[in-house]
Amino acid sequence: MTFSSEAVYKKGMQRVVVIGCMGAGKSVFSARLGRLTGLKLHHLDRLFWRKGCEPGRREWYELQEKIVAEESWIIEGNYGSTIGLRLRRADTVIFLDYSSLSCFLGVLKRIVFSRLGLERRPDIVEGCNERTDLKFLRYAWDFNGKHRKGILSGLKKYPGVDTIILGDRKESEKFLGSLQAH
Q: What is the largest CA-CA distance in the chain?
A: 44
C-alpha–C-alpha distance, residues 163 and 19, integer Å: 11
pLDDT over 70, % of the chain: 78
Measured from the Cβ of residue 47, the count of other Cβ atoms closer than 10 Å reads 18
Q: Kindly report the CATH number assigned to the domain that includes residue 141.
A: 3.40.50.300
pLDDT band for position 1 (cuts 50, 70, 90): very low
Asked if 85 and 11 count as a contact pair (C-beta separation under 8 A), the reply is: no
Length, in residues, of the chain:
182
Q: How confident is the model at residue 127 (pLDDT cuts 50, 70, 90)?
A: low
Q: What is the mean pLDDT of the chain?
A: 84
Identify the burial level of 58 via C-beta atoms within 10 angstroms of its C-beta, where 0-12 means exposed, 13-18 middle and 19 or more buried: exposed
Using the predicted structure, report yes or no on whether residue 4 has a pLDDT greater than 80.
no
- Which run of H or E residues covers position 17? strand 15-20
Q: Which domain holds residue 125?
A: 5-181
Lowest-pLDDT range, 4-13, 28-37, 55-64? Answer: 4-13
132 exposed, middle or buried (CB, 10 Å; 0-12, 13-18, 19+)?
A: middle
Number of domains comprising the chain: 1
pLDDT tens, position by position, 24-51: 999 999 999 999 999 999 988 777 766 5
**How many Å separate Cα 99 from the centre of its chain?**
15
